[in-house]
Amino acid sequence: MKSRYHIVILVTFLLVTLSLIISTVNYAISLNSTGVQLRESSLPLTVDNIYTKIQKQIIEPNLVSSMMANDTFLKDWLINHEGDVDKISTYLEMIKNKHNMLITFLVSEKTKNYYTANGLLEQVAQDNPNNAWYFNFIQSPNKHEINLDFNDHIDDSMIMFINHKIYDQQYHMIGATGIGLKISYVNEMLNYFRQKYHFNVYFLNKSGEVVLYEHGVNPLRNIKDVKELNDMKDLIISKESKLLEYTKDNQEYLINTKYIPELDLYLVVEAKLSEFLQNVKKTFYFNLICSLFGTLLIAFLILKSVNKYYKEIDYLAKYDDLTHLKNRRAFNEELEHFLLLCKRRHSHLSLTFFDLDDFKNINDTFGHQIGDKVLQRIADILKENLRQTDIMGRWGGEEFIVAFIETELEDAKFIADKIRVRIEKDEVLSQLTNAQVTASFGITTVNTHDSVDSLLNRVDQALYKAKDNGKNQVVCI
C-alpha cells in the first residue's frame, strides 16, 4: 500500500518540478523577448505610426496655417484693405469650412484687431491676460508656434492654436494668423496610444517644456523636473531619433524620440517596462496554474490506475484465477488469523479438506477444458451452500478446503455431507462428464494445542481415510 503512494508522490514531484522548470524558462525567455521586441520593434514602429497620425491631426492644420501666412491675398488685405472686414471674414470662413477647423483667425499688427470668420472679435491689448500669447509670440524669434489655451469667445474647452507670423516684402511683421483645434482631438489621439499600446506620448519644445500631452494623465511639464530625463536632455532634444533608457523609483523606462520639423517639436514615446511585463507575468501564472492542474490530474489518474493494478495484483495474489476461490497462501493466512481468534475466544473452528474422486480420468477422457469447467462448478456449489463467514479455497488441482468458523465438528460434518450429496447429484456436472462426479471429505476440528500445520496434517489424514474407505464419503478425525 505504501509503495503505491511512493510511486505517485515521486511521479507528481517530478511532474511539478518539470512544470516549474519549463514555466520558469519560458517566463525568462518571454521577458527577454518582450524587452527586445519593445526596443527593436514596438517603440520604433509606434513612433512612426504616431508620426503618421500626427501628420493628419496636427501637421495638416499647421500647413494650413502656414499657407494662410504666406497667402498674398491676406498680406494685401492687411496692407491695403483692412477696412473691408467682410472680405477677411469670408476668407477665414472659407478656410475654416474647407479644412474643418474649429477657428481660423487673423491679428493685425497695425490695428491689433482680432478677426475670425464671424468678423472683428476684439482688439488685443497688452494689459489683457488673454492676449498675452500674441505679444509673447511677436517678441519671440520663432516664425510659428503651438500653444494650448482657453478662449472664452470661441469655446469653453481647451484649444490648440497653431500660430504663424505674417511678413511683408521687406520682412516686417504685419500680423499673425492661424487655426484653432479642440484639444480633445489631440487628447483622443494620445489617449488611444496609451490605452492600446500602453505608451505615454508627449511633445517637447527646444527648452524641454512639454507642449502637448494627454490632459489629466501626464503630470510632466518640463523634463528638467525629472532628474533622470534632465540628465539626458541633450540626447532627447536632438534632431536624431534616439532610443533611451532610464530608471526612476525602481521602475525601468524606455523612451523613443523623433524630431518633427514641421512643428519644430520633439515627439517622445515613453514605455514603462513593468506594464509590458504584466502580460508576460499573467501568462506565466496562467501557464503555471494550468501545469499544476494538469500535474494533479495526471497524478490522480496515475493513482487511480495504480490502485486498479494493485487491486488486480492483490486479487491474483490471493485468489485462484480459475475458480475465484482463495488460493493456498491466502487461505493459510486467514486460517492462521481465525485459529488465533478461536483460541482467544474459546470458540469452535472446524476444517474440511476434500478431493474430487478420479478427477484424472475426467481430464484424460474429456480434456482439460471440461476438467476446468468441473472445477468451476464445484466452486459455485461451495459458494451456494456455505456462509459468507466461512473460508473456502482451492488447495491445488482438484483439492478444495473449507474452514467453518464457529462451527462444531458434528455441524461441520453435516454441512460437508450435504455438499458431497449436492456434488454427486448435480446435473451440470453430470452433463459435463456423462457420469456422476463424487468427492471424498476429511474433517477435523481445532484442539487446544493445534497449530495450522497440525490442523492441516490431521484433516489431510482424514481425507486419506475417506479415499481408502471407498471414496465419496465424509471421514472425521
In a domain, 320, yes or no: no
What number of other Cβ atoms are within 10 A of residue 270's Cβ? 21
Same domain, 340 and 259: no
Same domain, 281 and 395: no
Same domain, 348 and 252: no
Domain count along the chain: 2
Same domain, 285 and 339: no
Q: Spell out the long-range contacts of 340-349 with Cβ–Cβ below 8 A and sequence spacing 24 or more.
A: 342/446, 343/446, 343/448, 347/406, 348/406, 348/407, 348/408, 348/409, 348/445, 348/446, 349/403, 349/404, 349/405, 349/406, 349/407, 349/445, 349/446
3-state secondary structure 45-112: HHHHHHHHHHHHHHHHHHHHHHHHHCCHHHHHHHHHCCCCHHHHHHHHHHHHHHHCCCEEEEEECCCC
Integer Cα distance of 225 and 327 in angstroms:
90
Choose the final residue of a domain: 276, 296, 316.
296
Give the chain's end-to-end CA distance (angstroms, integer): 41
Nearest by Cα to 243 from 38, 29, 49: 38
Same domain, 289 and 351: no
**pLDDT score, position 390:** 95
Nearest by Cα to 101 from 158, 178, 47: 178
**pLDDT score, position 150:** 56
Which residue type occupies 106? L
Integer Cα distance of 296 and 23 in angstroms:
16
In a domain, 90, yes or no: yes
Same domain, 262 and 216: yes
Q: State the residue range of the domain holding 460.
A: 328-476
Segment holding 461, helix H or strand E: helix 452-468
Lookup result for grid cell 510511486? 7
Integer Cα distance of 62 and 64 in angstroms:
5
pTM of the model: 0.48
Same domain, 289 and 350: no
Note whether 55 and 327 are within 8 A (CB).
Answer: no
Nearest by Cα to 446 from 353, 296, 343, 318: 343
In a domain, 314, yes or no: no
**pLDDT score, position 152:** 54
**pLDDT score, position 31:** 73
Same domain, 208 and 123: yes
Q: Tell me the CATH number at 231.
A: 3.30.450.20
| Grid coordinates given for 248 | 526612476
Neighbouring-strand partners of residue 303: none
In a domain, 82, yes or no: yes
In a domain, 302, yes or no: no
Q: Tell me the CATH number at 397.
A: 3.30.70.270
Question: HSE on the CB side for 332, CA within 13 Å?
Answer: 12
- Tell me the average confidence (pLDDT) per consecutive run of 10 residues in the chain, 477 residues long: 68 82 82 75 78 76 94 96 95 95 95 96 93 93 80 61 94 96 75 84 90 79 92 93 90 90 84 79 82 84 82 87 94 94 91 96 93 96 94 95 95 96 96 94 94 95 96 95
In a domain, 371, yes or no: yes
**pLDDT score, position 216:** 75
Q: Cα–Cα distances in Å, from 241 out to 55, 201, 337, 471?
A: 17, 15, 90, 111
Same domain, 128 and 176: yes
Same domain, 372 and 231: no
Lookup result for grid cell 512643428? 263
In a domain, 312, yes or no: no
Measured over the CA atoms of residue 308, residue 309, residue 313 and residue 314, the dihedral's sign is negative
Integer Cα distance of 151 and 92 in angstroms:
18
The bridge status of strand 103-108 relative to strand 242-248 is: unpaired
| Grid coordinates given for 104 | 481660423
In a domain, 45, yes or no: yes
Same domain, 258 and 341: no
Same domain, 127 and 261: yes
Q: Residues near 150 by Cβ (< 8 Å), separated by ≥ 6?
A: 156, 157, 158, 159
| Grid coordinates given for 257 | 524620440
